[in-house]
Amino acid sequence: MKLLENKVAIVTGGGSGFGKAMSLLYVEEGAKVVVSDIDESKAMDTVNEIRSKGGDAVFVKADVGRPEDNENLVKEAVETYGRLDIAFNNAGIGGASALIGDYPINAWDKIIQINLSSVFYGMHYQIPQMLKNGGGVIVNMSSILGQVGFAGAAGYVAAKHGVVGLTKNVALEYGQKGIRANAVGPGFVETHLTHNLTDDKEQYDFLVSKHPMGRLGYVDEVVDLVLWLSSDRASFCNGGYYPVDGGYLAK
SS3 labels along the chain: CCCCCCCEEEEECCCCHHHHHHHHHHHHCCCEEEEEECCHHHHHHHHHHHHHCCCCEEEEECCCCCHHHHHHHHHHHHHHHCCCCEEEECCCCCCCCECHHHCCHHHHHHHHHHHHHHHHHHHHHHHHHHHHHCCEEEEEECCHHHCCCCCCEHHHHHHHHHHHHHHHHHHHHHHHHCEEEEEEEECCECCHHHHCCCCCHHHHHHHHHCCCCCCCECHHHHHHHHHHHHCHHHCCCCCCEEEECCCHHHC
Question: Closest Cα partner for 20 from 82, 28, 170?
Answer: 28
- Reply yes or no on whether 81 is catalytic: no
111 vs 1, 107, 189, 191, CA distance in Å? 40, 6, 20, 19
In the set 81, 121, 156, 241, the catalytic residue is 156
Give the residue numbers annotated as catalytic, written as ranges: 156
